[in-house]
Amino acid sequence: MDEWKFDGTGDEGEEGEDENGESSWDFGGRTASIFLIDTAKEMFEAPSDAPEDEEPPFKRAVRAAHATLMRKVVSSDHDLSAVVLFNTKETKNPIDFAHVYVLQELERPGAEKILMLEKLLESNRPSAMFLHSYVLIILCSDASLQDALRVCQSVFSKCTSRLAGQSILLFTCRDNPHAADDQKQRQARQKAKDLKEAGIVLEILHMGKTFDVNKFYKDLIIPDEDEDDEDSQEKITLADPTSRFEELMERMRRLDHKQRTTGRVMFTLAPGVEMSVGVYTAVSHIINFIELHNTMTFKTFPNSQDTGELLMPSDYVKYQVYGGKSIKFTLDEARSINKVYDPGMKLLGFKPISSLKPYYHVKPANFIYPDEKSVKGSNKMFAALLDRCLARKMAAIVRLIARQGSSVSYAALIPQQEELDDKNSQITPPGFIACHLPFADDFRKIQLKNLVRATTDQVDAAKAVIKKLHFKYAPENFDDPVLQTHWRNIEALALNRLHLEPVTDYTLPNNELISKKAGTLLKTFQDLVYPNSYDPSHPVKKQPATSSAAAAKKVKPDPASIDVETMAKAGKADKLTVDILKGWLQERGVKVSGKKKAQLVQDVLDEVGQ
- Torsions phi, psi for 93 (to 5 deg): -160, 160
Cβ 153 vs Cβ 105: under 8 Å: no
pLDDT for the residue numbered 205: 83
Q: Which residues contact 583 (CB under 8 A, 6 or more apart)?
A: 559
Residues 169 and 49 in one domain: yes
C-alpha pair distances (Å), 22 with each of 107, 368, 506:
32, 20, 32
Whether 321 and 176 share a structural domain: no
Q: Would you place residue 345 in the very low, low, confident or very high pLDDT band (cuts 50, 70, 90)?
A: very high
Per-position DSSP letters for 452-492, written without gaps between them: -PPPHHHHHHHHHHHHHH-----GGG---HHHHHHHHHHHH
Residue 6 located in a structural domain: no
**3-state secondary structure at position 245:** helix
Q: Is the pLDDT of residue 254 over 70?
A: no
Q: How far is CA 489 from CA 72, 110, 460, 482, 553, in A?
A: 16, 15, 48, 11, 54
Per-residue pLDDT, 286 = 57
When computed from its CA atoms, the radius of gyration of the chain, rounded to whole angstroms, is 36
Q: Do residues 345 and 399 touch, judged by C-beta distance below 8 A?
A: yes
Q: What is d(CA 548, CA 552) in angstroms, rounded to the nearest whole number?
A: 6
Write the pLDDT tens digit of every residue in 443-468. Answer: 888 888 888 888 999 999 999 999 99
C-beta of residue 485 within 8 angstroms of C-beta of residue 552: no
In a shared domain, residues 246 and 392: no
3-state secondary structure of 263: strand
The Cα–Cα gap between 255 and 425 comes to: 11
Q: Which of 101-115, 248-262, 471-485 has the lowest mean pLDDT?
A: 248-262
- Asked whether residue 18 is assigned to any structural domain, the reply reads no
| Residue 334 resides in a domain | yes
Which CATH number does the domain housing residue 230 bear? 3.40.50.410
Considering the domain architecture, whether residues 568 and 548 belong to the same structural domain is answered as no
Q: What is the pLDDT of residue 255?
A: 63
User: Last residue of a domain, which of 537, 553, 569?
Assistant: 553
What beta strand segments (E) does 402-542 contain?
409-416, 419-420, 426-428, 431-436
392, part of any domain: yes
Whether 79 is covered by a domain: the verdict is yes
Q: What is the pLDDT of residues 180-211, one digit of tens each?
A: 888 888 898 899 899 988 888 888 888 877 78
- Identify the CA nearest to 102 among candidates 83, 88, 121: 83
At 364-375, the pLDDT tens digits run 899 999 988 888
Query: pLDDT higher for 395 or 530?
Result: 395
- Label residue 378 by pLDDT band (50, 70, 90): very high
Q: How many domains does the chain have?
A: 5
Measured CA to CA, the distance from residue 402 to residue 342 in angstroms comes to 10
Tell me how far apart the alpha carbons of residues 424 and 313 are, in angstroms, rounded to a whole number: 56
Same domain? 313 vs 454: no
Per-position b or e across 461-494, b if 16+ CB within 10 A of its CB: beebbeeeeeeeeeeeeeeeeebbebbeeebeee
Residues 212 and 123 in one domain: yes
- Smallest Cα–Cα separation from 171: which of 128, 205, 212? 205
User: Do 88 and 217 belong together in one domain?
Assistant: yes
One domain for residues 361 and 321: no
3-state secondary structure of 163: strand
- Residues 6 or more apart whose CB falls under 8 angstroms from that of 302 comprise 310, 311
Q: What angle do CA 151, 107, 7 make, to 5 degrees?
A: 80
Pairing of strands 30-38, 80-86: parallel
**CATH number of the domain enclosing 477:** 1.10.1600.10
Same domain, 224 and 366: no
Residue 12 falls inside a structural domain: no
Please tell me whether residues 71 and 46 are part of one structural domain: yes
CATH of the domain at 310: 4.10.970.10
Q: Is residue 2 part of a domain?
A: no
Comparing 436 with 131, the larger pLDDT belongs to 436
Long-range contacts at 111-114 (CB < 8 A, ≥ 24 apart): 111/494, 111/495, 113/69, 113/81, 113/83, 114/66, 114/69, 114/70, 114/73, 114/495
**Looking at 525, 553, 581, which one is the last position of a domain?**
553
- 513 with 588, same domain: the answer is no
Does 26 have pLDDT greater than 50? no
Type of residue at 424: N
Q: How many CB atoms lie within 10 A of CB 519?
A: 12
Neighbours of 347 (CB within 10 A): 16
Tell me the pLDDT band of 574, cut-offs 50, 70 and 90: confident
pLDDT in tens, 220-239: 876 554 444 444 334 455 66
Whether the pLDDT of residue 536 is over 50: the answer is yes
Percentage of the chain beyond pLDDT 70 is 77
Give the distance between the most distant pair of CA atoms in the chain.
124
Q: By the 8 A CB rule, do 477 and 504 touch?
A: no
- Give the closest residue to 203 by CA, choosing from 214, 212, 192: 192
- pLDDT reported for residue 284: 65
How confident is the model at residue 392, as a pLDDT? 94
Q: Could you tell me what percentage of the chain is helix, strand and coil, using 3-state DSSP and rounding each to the nearest 5?
A: 35, 20, 45
- Cβ contacts of 275 within 8 Å, gap of 6 or more: 266, 267, 269, 370, 375, 377, 378, 381, 382
Handedness of CA 480, 483, 487, 489 (dihedral sign): positive
Q: Are 426 and 239 in contact (CB under 8 A)?
A: yes
Asked if 184 contacts 144 with a C-beta cutoff of 8 angstroms, the reply is yes
Q: Calculate the alpha carbon distances from 230 to 196, 233, 373, 444 in Å.
A: 14, 5, 12, 51
What is the CATH number for 408?
2.40.290.10
How many residues make up the chain in this entry?
610
Residue 148 covered by a domain? yes
Instruction: Provide the pLDDT confidence category of residue 124 given band limits of 50, 70 and 90.
Output: low
Residue 286: which residues within 8 A CB-CB, separation 6 or more? 480, 483
Query: Which domain covers residue 590, as residue numbers?
Result: 559-608
Query: Which of the pair, 572 or 464, is modelled with greater confidence?
Result: 464
- My answer on whether 169 and 153 are in the same domain is yes
pLDDT at 128 exceeding the cut of 50: no
Residue among 455, 468, 464 nearest 524 (CA): 464
> What's residue 150's pLDDT?
93
Instruction: Flag whether pLDDT at 500 surpasses 90.
Output: no
Task: Name the E strands within 127-197.
Answer: 129-132, 135-138, 163-172
